[in-house]
Structure 1
Amino acid sequence: MNAVGVIGIGAMGKGMIGSLLQKGYRVFAYDPIPAAQQWAKERGAEVADSPAAVGRMAGVVITSLPGPAVVEQVLLGADGLYATLASGSYVLDASTIDPATARRMYQSGREKGIAYFDCPVSGGPAGAAAGTLTIMVGGDESKLPEIIPYLQGIGKEIFYLGESGSGQVAKLCHNSVVAVITAALGEALTVGAKAGVDPHKLAAVMDKGSAHNRVLSIFGPNILYGTYEKTIFSLDHMHKDLTLYTKAAQEQQVPVLVGGTVSQMYEAAKAQGKGAWDSSAVCSVTEELAHATISKS
């Protein structure tokens, strides 16, 4: 039986663990939160007591962590993964972080004979649970064939983007577009609602016209019914991704005239205490400024 480690048993990590177990992998998991450890045990994973312990048990480790600082600590910390992983091992980092940190983790791994791939994902917890994630991969292309089976254990669409950091660039660009579309939907539906047009009918027009987009199908119900507390992808996470996107754009000397404005809308929503809500709660910023609501409820 193939063994694989998973570090980070959050909403995404849980889905990945479930998919891997279902496909016959032996999973060694770690998370500092006792409730997450218990969840993994109950599903059939073997729980380790540190990232380093995972490195002793598996030659392929998937990490799903909240941000750059945590990734760096888990990989390079005193009890970190790189301290115990054998030469010839693989780290598939499914976290969303900045490209520069990904490249540092790649170089640090390379010095130890460890192949680090940045493998951010799209598809949310539902996609993780179903094993249908879209995975954006950056790293050493010559070693790609060895990790494909493990990526197929958690995802369906796998895109190799290029050298280390390329997967993160793609993910940040992707999420910036999602954020912009979400904010645009909130604005347009607020205009329509305030002008007396049923938002549900307006959304149906968009769905059938040139404005058709998957953001509407995924986040539309929360926007139309005002159920922003039903979190699909948290506003905190989108805020973090937009911050990283803006930083990456600045490094490339690309003006973020659209993304920068939308990033400030997420900043406002976060300042209002809506970080734990769904990312579509950014639409409430426009609603409040307009003294209007999209939802009729």
Structure 2
Amino acid sequence: MEAIGVIGIGAMGKGMIGSLLKKGYHVYAYDPSPAAQQWAQEQGAHVVASPQAVGCVTRIVFTSLPGPAIAEQVMLGEDGLYQALPEDSYVFDTSTIDPATAKRLNQKALEKQIYYFDCPVSGGPAGSAAGTLTIMVGGEESKLEAIMPYLQLIGKEIFYLGESGAGQVAKLCHNSVVAVITAALGEALTVGAKAGVDPHKLAAVIDKGSAHNRVLSVFGPNILYGTYEKSVFSLDHMHKDLQLYAATAREQQVPVLVGSTVAQMYEAAKAQGKGSWDSSAVCTVTEELAKATVAR
């Protein structure tokens, strides 16, 4: 089977590695964390010493990284991936970064006749492990037929959005909506709880009514049971994504009237030391102000 590289062995990267190994691929993985390296070795992946070393052994690479600065370092650093990848290689960057950085990484790749695609994903660690992620793709349209089999290794719903950076725009817009809905759920459930309505019953009404949303099924249990420390998607990551979304909106001269208010709530929760908690911990800001809790 073909060799595939994975750079970034966090919650999402682990799912990709596990899924690729189950499909019979030889996986070459890199992460600076010794614990992550050990995990990958135990699963059967080949752990290498740098991003550049990944590029020496494969022409297909998935990356899953925390933010723009690290993505640039991994791709363009002295021991970066682009230093070794052969021509006609494909890089699928599933990190959530800003569109401008994605475009810059794409341009640098093209200079080396490498094809870079911004491919942010939705579906969480469970979707990553199952190979059922939703993938938002930006990049060279003429290569779609060639790259689709690789994207289908990790994803089920694959959307081509346009030229380089378009995938990141879609992901930032998506996550802004998720953040707004999460905060709105926390507010509504707090109002209901303080007024004496069982939050679980209220959540059931929301789920079956016109306010039905997938955010409730993903993050609702943490809100309803107060288990905010069980992270599905960390508050730190959502906070980062909201900052990138706001910057993108400013560049496009679009007012962020709703998003900016919600972003301040995430800012408050992060300042309270809840960054490592689940992103739904933003609801604690409303709970504390109201001197009420949703959890029963």
Bin of the TM-score, shorter chain as denominator length:
over 0.9
Counterpart code for 1:294: V
Q: How far did residue 120 of structure 1 move? A: 0.2
Aligned to 1:33: 33
- Paired residue type of 2:19: S
1:176 aligns with 2:176: yes
Q: Give the aligned residue type for 1:274.
A: K
Residue 19 of structure 2 aligns to a residue whose secondary structure is helix
* Alignment correspondent of 1:66: 66
Tell me, in whole angstroms, the C-alpha distance in 2 between the residues paired with 1:109 and 1:154.
22
In 2, Cα distance between equivalents of 1:109 and 1:23: 28
Task: Give the gaps of 5 or more residues in structure 1.
Answer: none
Q: Deviations over 1:182-204 (max 9, x none)?
A: 00000000000111111111000
Cα distance in 2, alignment partners of residues 63 and 109 from structure 1: 14
- SS of residue paired to 2:292: coil
The corresponding residue for 2:295 is 295
What's the CA shift for 1:145?
1.5
1:52-131 matches, within 5 Å, as: 52-131=52-131
Note if 1:13 corresponds to 2:13.
yes
Structure 2 residue matching 1:57: 3-state secondary structure: coil
* Secondary structure of residue in 1 paired with 2:56: helix
Matched with 2:286 is: 286
Tell me the TM-score normalised to structure 1 length: 0.99
Equivalences, count: 296
Q: Report what 2:200 is aligned to.
A: 200
Letter in 1 for 2:112: K
Sequence identity, in percent?
79
CA distance in 1, matches of 2:146, 2:109: 16
Stretches of structure 2 that go unaligned for 5 or more consecutive residues are none
Counterpart of 1:188 in structure 2 is 188
Deviation at 1:146, TM superposition (A): 1.6
Determine the C-alpha separation between the residues in 2 that align with 1:36 and 1:17.
Answer: 11
CA deviations over 1:221-279 (Å, ceiling 9, x no partner): 10001110010000000000000000000000000000111001000000000000000
CA distance in 1, matches of 2:68, 2:113: 22
Q: What is the CA distance between 1:44 and its match in structure 2? A: 1.0
User: RMSD between aligned alpha carbons?
Assistant: 0.6
1:63 & 1:56 partners in 2: Cα distance? Answer: 15
Aligned pairs (5 A) from 1:206-245: 206-245=206-245
Aligned counterparts of 2:2 and 2:158: Cα–Cα separation in 1 = 20
SS at match of 1:134: strand
Runs of 4+ off more than 2 Å: none
Structure 1 residue 148: deviation in Å? 1.1
Measured in 2, the distance between the counterparts of 1:217 and 1:62 equals 28
Separation of aligned partners in 1, 2:284 and 2:147: 42
C-alpha displacement of 1:25 = 1.2
TM superposition shift of 1:213? 0.3
